[in-house]
Chains A and B, each alone.
Chain A
Amino acid sequence: KAGVTQTPRYLIKTRGQQVTLSCSPISGHRSVSWYQQTPGQGLQFLFEYFSETQRNKGNFPGRFSGRQFSNSRSEMNVSTLELGDSALYLCASSLARGSPKAFFGQGTRLTVV
């Protein structure tokens, strides 16, 4: 089985721009969660999607949003980028809701300049 695929791997954006990151979960997995990793805050939960609906949200501003498609693929979007949004963004794939065993993609390294 293919693992979790995230694209792109690296991205450089300017302050004020917006960015869209993509995640394809493991085949058959229907739950997708997003995490942000920064040196100062560690790994923090952004949101979880299941059946095309956001089920759970972490403590992040509304500039961070996401969506899930009928094939379980997910995108996250960050608008009006700030320097502090520079981070490794990780997508995690789980079989279903209430199934917390998660497998992570390689991540997207976002740098905001």
Chain B
Amino acid sequence: DQQVKQNSPSLSVQEGRISILNCDYTNSMFDYFLWYKKYPAEGPTFLISISSIKDKNEDGRFTVFLNKSAKHLSLHIVPSQPGDSAVYFCAASASKTGANNLFFGTGTRLTVIP
């Protein structure tokens, strides 16, 4: 049972434009959400996170939006750069339980075209 879903396996964007990656979740206990960037055969690199008490968090070119009522979050990258090309994973946690385990989506491969 996939509790975190990324329904778009791939996304292509022109350099300089906005990239929007989407993620949906089903578990109401999730209260902390993260985005990771990953290259093949390497570990995920933390990008940005958001707590469920917020609906937006920004860090440089990266902004994460959380819509709790829709159980949906998105990552915006503006402007997109060729170096952003990678697989992006959305992850969620029920941190109030004290557990640190993350539930991951299946990833979206972003390609930024120069």
Contacts and interface: CB of A to CB of B under 8 A. Distances in A.
Partners in one complex: yes
B101 A104 contact: no
A66 interface: no
B69 interface: no
Interface residues on B, range: 20 to 34
Interface string A80-99: 00000000101110100111
Contacts of B101: 33, 45, 48, 56, 58
B102 interface: yes
B89 interface: yes
Contacts of B106: 42
Contact of B43 (A42, A55, A90): A90
Contacts of A88: 41
Contacts of A50: 100
Contacts, number: 77
B41 A109 contact: yes
> A-side binding surface: helix, strand, loop or mixed?
strand
B98 interface: yes
A17 to B, nearest CB: 22
Nearest to A56: B99
Interface of B: 32, 34, 36, 41-46, 49, 89, 91, 93, 95-107
21 contacts: A6-B43, A31-B100, A33-B101, A42-B105, A42-B106, A42-B107, A43-B102, A43-B104, A56-B99, A58-B101, A92-B100, A94-B100, A97-B99, A97-B100, A98-B98, A99-B100, A100-B34, A102-B46, A102-B102, A104-B43, A107-B43
Interface of A: 4, 6, 31, 33, 35, 42-45, 48, 50, 55-56, 58, 88, 90-92, 94, 97-107, 109
Given A55-B99, A104-B43, 19 more contacts: A33-B100, A43-B89, A43-B102, A44-B104, A48-B99, A48-B100, A55-B100, A56-B100, A97-B100, A98-B95, A98-B98, A99-B95, A100-B34, A100-B100, A101-B49, A104-B46, A105-B43, A106-B42, A109-B41
